[in-house]
Amino acid sequence: MNSTLVLAVLSLFVLPVVCRTHVPKVFSVLRYGAVADNKTDNTKAFKRAWAAACRWRGKSRVLIPPGSYYLASIILRGPCNGPKQFVIKGVLTAPTEPALFFIDHWITFQHINKLKIYGGGTLDGQGASAWPYNNCHTGSCKPLPVTLRLDFVNDSKISNIKSINSKNFHFNVFSCYRLNFSRVTISAPGDSPNTDGIHVGGSGDVGIDTADIATGDDCISIGPGNQGIRISNVVCGPGHGISVGSLGKSDREEGVSGVSVVNCTFRGTLNGVQIKTWPDPEAAGGFASDFMYDNIVMEDVDNPIFINQQYCPYNLCNAQGSSKIRISNITFSNIWGTSTTKDAVKLECSESNPCHNIALENINLIGPGGVASSSCSNVHGRSRAPLNPPSCLR
């Protein structure tokens, strides 16, 4: 048998393997019964499409074509056989029936490695139908659905997706590692309650890059148990800024370390960059350390730089106590812009656990009438000129 014939025969076996490995198998939700009429419940069709794609050995893709799809609460579980893609080209619309509100998720992905979610589509949480049910200010919070939960999802990417009008958080990340967000757009009214853009908890090596976030709470919130959170090129506003915390609400919380926030812009937000901890003397101590905030623009921000260790929303805590969270090794550098309040820099640390090694470098914040000031309590650190307002660190 000559060499040409041998190669031809081998190609019959090799090419299918190559194609199966490198070209994702497509599972359109339309093939599994989905209807893009914005009223048919497509939950079962989406589950069937996901189950088939998850079973497929090799790369596979669940495709949501253009159109509007009504979708009730759904959990898409792994582990799966190989890398998976969830491609949203249409609009997914959440329920507006109150009977379906009080659950912690709308769309959840669990226990999946090498997942990509992208496609240019939109997640519409229909939040206006549920926001009146948010009674957190009375101390009787009921769970409202997070638009997209990622639980135990590793080595994955979320890109080119839009989330609007979430009932609760837009994105919630829990126990995920090596996860990256890029080119996401998040939008909800500035007075919408608890609509954090991206909340990260108990995770590591998470990146958020090139995001436009306008919402009613924190644009990005970083809870306990996180390491290595990188935030860059984010435009935030309206909203409550980019926050680490709140921390210290529960006993035996894990600490937070290795957070960087760079090349970000805040527009008309309540806070800019904030670290917030509860003043509960009964809670076990945790820590927040090794943060870098650099090259940040503030445009008419109420509290541009804020360490708040007396965080007590709705007065639902023991505000007479002192926070046990230890804050250290925090650098604020190359931050400029305008503050709507005179105290543009507020470093309010715990009396029992003062902040250590806090650095202010090259700050230029202008307050009302051109005048700004800084205030410090229970904080030790250093400063390097130029600084406006003048440093309160001693």
Supply φ then ψ for residue 26, to 5 degrees: -95, 130
Q: Which residues contact 36 (CB under 8 A, 6 or more apart)?
A: 30, 65, 66, 67, 68, 69, 90
Q: What is the pTM of this model?
A: 0.93
Q: Could you give the maximum distance between any two Cα atoms of the chain, in Å? A: 90
Residue 157 exposure: Cα atoms within 13 Å on the Cβ side: 11
In whole angstroms, give the CA distance from residue 37 to residue 21.
35
**H-state helical runs in the chain:** 3-22, 43-55
Q: Which CATH architecture has domain 218-394?
A: 3 Solenoid (2.160)
Q: Which residues are catalytic?
A: 240
Nearest CA-CA partner of 241 in 325, 298, 167 = 298
All residue ranges of the chain with pLDDT < 70 are 1-21, 136-141, 281-282, 316, 318-320
In whole angstroms, give the CA distance from residue 128 to residue 183.
25
The tokens 């005179």 sit on which residue?
342
Domain parsing of the chain, residue ranges: 218-394
Burial of 227 (0-12, 13-18, 19+ CB in 10 A): middle
The DSSP 8-state label assigned to residue 45 in this structure reads H
Q: Report the pLDDT value the prediction gives residue 249, as an integer from 0 to 100.
A: 86
Supply φ then ψ for residue 67, to 5 degrees: 135, 175
Supply φ then ψ for residue 186, to 5 degrees: -130, 130
Cα angle 235-238-244, degrees, rounded to a multiple of 5: 70
Q: Report the pLDDT value the prediction gives residue 16, as an integer from 0 to 100.
A: 47
The DSSP 8-state label assigned to residue 225 in this structure reads S
Q: Report the pLDDT value the prediction gives residue 76, as an integer from 0 to 100.
A: 99
User: Is the torsion defined by CA of 252, 254, 137, 150 positive or negative?
Assistant: negative
In whole angstroms, give the CA distance from residue 95 to residue 278.
34
* Number of other residues whose CB lies within 10 A of the CB of residue 212: 18
Q: Report the pLDDT value the prediction gives residue 22, as an integer from 0 to 100.
A: 74
Burial of 336 (0-12, 13-18, 19+ CB in 10 A): middle
In whole angstroms, give the CA distance from residue 238 to residue 321.
31
Residue 70's identity, in one-letter code, is Y
Residue 211's identity, in one-letter code, is A
